[in-house]
Structure 1
């Protein structure tokens, strides 16, 4: 893409929003971790068949 737009790496890095992308990636990882953790805690507390019904 940089060759097609004749943009240099220095110009690209100046407008690249790495911190915002990093924050969104961390939010996604945390939400996935929490969903797995909550479901595993639910299965540990209940019978597996009852937990799957819920």
Structure 2
């Protein structure tokens, strides 16, 4: 199911909103230019993919 999200980024934080409610918040990494993610915020299929890739 696709949903429209709104993202707010500030100096140290990224916040994700759905229909006016904050659904996720992450501390931004300090300039390492790498993507980061919190596993609990991923879909089950994405977590399985990452687990299988790291075996």
Q: TM-score range by the shorter chain?
A: under 0.3
Specify the structure having the higher radius of gyration (Cα). Answer: 1
Give the TM-score, by structure 1 length.
Answer: 0.26
Relative contact order, higher structure (CA 8 A, sep 6+)? 2
Of Structure 1 and Structure 2, the greater helix share is in 1
Output the TM-score relative to the length of structure 2. Answer: 0.26
